[in-house]
Amino acid sequence: MTILWTILALAAGTYLLRLCGPLLHSRFEPSGRVRAVLSASATVLLCAMAAVSALTAGHGFAGWARPAGVLVGAALALRKVSFLIVVVAAAATTAILRLLGVS
Amino acid sequence: MLRNIGAVGAALGLVGASFGAIAVSAGQPAWVPLVMSLAVFAGGAQFATLDIVLGGGGAVAAVAAGLVLNARLLVYGLTVADVLALRRPARLLGSHLLVDQAVAFARAEQDPARRRAAYFVSGGVLFVTWNAGTLLGALAGRAVGDADALGLDAAEPMVLLALVLPALREAGPRRAAAAGVAVALAAAPFLPSGVPVLLALLGLPLALWKTPVPAGGAVSAGKATEAAPGRGTELRAGLSESSKHSESSKFSESSKLSGPSKLSGPSKLSDSSKLSEPSKLSGPSVGEPR
């Protein structure tokens, strides 16, 4: 049963984190400058998430296959290829590299 | 936009399926991944928490790790707060849909109504596909096979990177993101997961430095920085050279710093070589309009 309480505690905490922004917003209207900073911080966080999840596994390097797949997908994304193809190409590249023995 | 949302939804459905399959394969009853996907609805935190629970790390550590990973949601919540400025029931329900991808879709739009539509449609679609994927994965269990062999672990970073690419056209955020990525990757070997991503915010001052943030015109019209495409092109033409320059010097600096401190030698070197990824990527798109 601990697992249920673990899940519920994580869910409650996560929901509160989500709710903070919208609740604060009803108290004060952020200025243009604050909004620009928030927009930039979302960009920074999204990039950091992408980089960390592409390159690391736990505390170590994720291996070459995953970042190589992401790199192929990113090259396609820059050429305005459709999203689904981008994601499939990334996964396929990673899968093929692993099949060839590249971790 | 709908096609893109559908594609991201499908991709995350696959990641959800691997989450369900991993949990069940490790001996958890099927309701564990299901309840988690419904109630938590945050991929990274779910994987991290499950990992610690399965490893016998204890409930407190598991919850703490998940919450640290999700702390970024607080910042996202502030970013898209205008989208959720609704009556109470809609705000309370809508807040649960706050995930990286929904934020990325919402901020790609400037018109308030379209922002809101993008947020709710993408959040709703992702909620459905994530949970449907988890259900299928939990039912199929081991039959799904090795998610890594299918390369599914590349799907999540790919989705995030593709969604954030348009925002990297602007020099300020691009500089900040490049520095933030460098900090996060340098910290990743040493700090608990989730913390490095938060540390990336240290790169934020670079978004303002030397960049004339449009504090007047565009913003007072109620629009975010991205809302000034004309001004953006001017900036791009003027700043692309110098910003590229400062980025590359920053990269070499940080790789020098992080290089020797890394423990497991050759494999770690690739981190720093890959640091330039976002800047390389944004390079061609910067040159495009010229």
Alpha-carbon separation of residue B42 from A90, B110, B125, B222, B284 (angstroms): 22, 26, 14, 30, 32
For A54-83, the DSSP string reads HHEETTEE--SHHHHHHHHHHHHHHTT--H
pLDDT digits (tens, 9 = 90+) for A56-92: 888 889 899 999 999 999 999 999 888 888 989 999 9
For B211-236, what is the mean pLDDT?
A: 41
Q: Which two tokens stand for residue B100?
A: 């990286």
**Would you state the pLDDT for residue A83?**
83
**Would you state the pLDDT for residue B142?**
67
For B109-138, what is the mean pLDDT?
A: 95
Residue that wins the pLDDT comparison between B10 and A1: B10
Q: Has residue A39 got a pLDDT over 90?
A: no
pLDDT digits (tens, 9 = 90+) for B25-74: 888 999 999 999 999 999 888 988 888 888 887 888 889 888 988 988 99
Interface of B with A in 144-163 (CB under 8 A): 148-163
CB contact under 8 A, B151 and A67: no
Cα B161 to Cα B102: distance, rounded to the nearest angstrom: 14
CB contact under 8 A, B107 and A42: yes
Q: Which residues in chain A are contacts of B184 at CB distance < 8 A?
A: 48, 51-52
Give percent of chain A above pLDDT 90: 55
Q: Has residue B272 got a pLDDT over 70?
A: no
Residue that wins the pLDDT comparison between B288 and B113: B113
For B89-96, what is the mean pLDDT?
A: 94
Interface of A with B in 47-66 (CB under 8 A): 47-56, 58-62, 64-66
Alpha-carbon separation of residue B81 from B74, B76, B112 (angstroms): 10, 8, 11
Name A57's bridge partners.
A60
**Would you state the pLDDT for residue B145?**
63
How is chain A split into domains, by residue range?
A: 1-30
